[in-house]
Structure 1
Amino acid sequence: MSKPSARARLADAALTLFDERGYEQTTVDDIAERAGVGRTTFFRHYRAKEEVIFPDHDRLLDAIRDRLATSSHSTALVAVSEAVRLVLLHYLEEGELARRRYKLTSTVPALRDREIASVARYQRLFREFISDWMGDSAQTTSLRAELMAAAVVSAHNHVLRRWLRGEAGDPMGEVDEAMREVVSLFPAPGAGPESADAGTTVVAFRTGRDLDALLPALRRALDDAD
């Protein structure tokens, strides 16, 4: 088995020391020493001790931006849903590290404030994309974009917190269901009651189930919608 990277060792050392000594009492030098690296190595990976706690939000935001950029007007909502999945998957891959971070940020006000500020960056990115998708700068559209972006982030955070607390057995399935709820609240631009009766819109999500097994359920769902 390969040795954990210096970045991973620093994160583990920091969270362990925060548990042992408390966040305020732990220094950068303490973290570097526990991880078996020098102070210079610490600052090569992190700008400050609080950054050890949080995921690489800049990289995640870039991944979301790239996914949204590949969408067309007709696939915008699918792109939003898949971008949300990217973020949740990152936390799931972190595993216990994400849970330890959640426990810490729940008890340290300064870290909780920073987490809230990070969430605002995601919401702003989704709001800008949704506003462009709606294609109108009117005040009503601006409000709808703000509301939808807030719903998208809230849906993700609801599922994430359930998983962090050990309450979600299938977080990816739950986030797909949460996003279906969000999408149902916000019809596509120009889709009024008249156009809603004109046909059925199907939003697709990835699943590990075989297509033949899914078709009967899809047919029943479409029949129920008629």
Structure 2
Amino acid sequence: MDSTALPVAPAAEPVRERLAAAAFELFAEKGYESTTIDEIASAAGVARRTFFRHYRSKEDVIFPDHDSVLERVRWYLGSSSAADPVFAVAEATRLIFETFMAAPERTIARYRLTRVVPALRDREVASVARYERTMSDYLRGRLPDTPEAALAAHVAAASFAAAHNQVLREWLRAGGAEDAHPALDAALAMVSELMTPLITGVAHNRRS
């Protein structure tokens, strides 16, 4: 047998997913810093150049496709121009949350990595901030062009992002043992109740 031959991976599994699965297994076994791209590619049964067709770096393997999720969030908010703005942002928050719940084991593994690798933690924080800005921009587009409305939009978006992060963090700390959806429902309801008077108030306080 040719010892240089690549291991055979299941053909039915998408290459991108094979690479991610291999990477997380190696990160757990060897640590993030000690794992190389060549090792990830080999474990997934593909060549190094194939890795770079799907990911720009080792770091990119860890995180969900935030660009794709962000586009979905923007599309949803863009199609919600007739909906109550607070409700629309709450549902956008739920959409973001579901991307983490779609692959719970991967989400837990990512959390463990980001706790020990500062660069990964910084990237996670930056990614979440992009969602918050998108929700804030949506609210500003639904409100008068006043400083008060801009502040209200930022406060509301930050509040929904904080609710999302708190529920997700508690679920992660518990090792994903419980269904997080009831906690998310309660958090979104609480924030919606607090933010509705704020957003409604500035919406009707138009500058002449």
User: Residue 89 of structure 2 contacts residue 157 of structure 2 at CA under 8 Å; is this kept in 1?
Assistant: no
C-alpha distance in 2, partners of 1:190/1:83? 16
User: Cα 1:185–1:164, aligned 2, differ >3 Å: closer, same or farther?
Assistant: same
Paired positions, count: 192
Aligned AA for 2:31? G
Deviations 1:163-195 (A, max 9, x none): 223367332222121111111112356745xx9
Match of 2:17 in 1: 8
> Take 2:200 and 2:25, find their aligned partners in 1: how far apart are those partners?
53
Partner of 1:219: none
The one of the two structures with greater contact order (alpha-carbon pairs below 8 A, sep at least 6) is 2
Tell me if the contact between 1:162 and 1:168 (Cα under 8 Å) persists in the aligned partners.
no
Residues 85 and 172 in structure 1, CA contact (< 8 A), matched pair in contact too = no
Q: 4+ runs of 1 displaced by more than 3 Å? A: 188-192
- Alpha-carbon distance in 2 for matches of 1:20, 1:191: 52
Query: Alpha carbon RMSD of aligned pairs, Å?
Result: 2.1
Q: TM-score, normalised by structure 1?
A: 0.78
- Unaligned runs of at least 5 residues, structure 1: 196-226
Identity %: 46
Partner Cα separation in structure 1 for residue 62 and residue 38 of structure 2: 16
Q: Paired residue for 2:56, among 25, 47, 58?
A: 47
Question: In structure 1, what is the Cα distance between the partners aligned to 2:172 and 2:199?
Answer: 38
For 2:199 and 2:190, how far apart are their aligned partners in 1? 19
Structure 2 runs not aligned, ≥5 long: 1-9
Distance 2:76 2:123 in 1: 25
The answer to whether the 8 Å contact 2:86/2:195 transfers is no
Compared CA separation, residues 191 and 84, structure 1 to 2 (3 A) = closer
Moved more, 52-61 or 77-86: 77-86
Deviations 1:98-133 (A, max 9, x none): 111111111100100111111111111011011112
The separation in 2 between residues aligned to 1:190 and 1:38, in whole angstroms, is 53
Q: Is the contact between residue 59 and residue 120 of structure 2 (CA under 8 Å) also seen in structure 1?
A: yes
Larger displacement relative to structure 2 (183-192 or 120-129): 183-192
Q: Which moved more, 1:44-53 or 1:137-146?
A: 137-146
**1:1-226 correspondence to structure 2 within 5 Å:** 3-134=12-143, 136-166=144-174, 169-187=178-196, 191=200
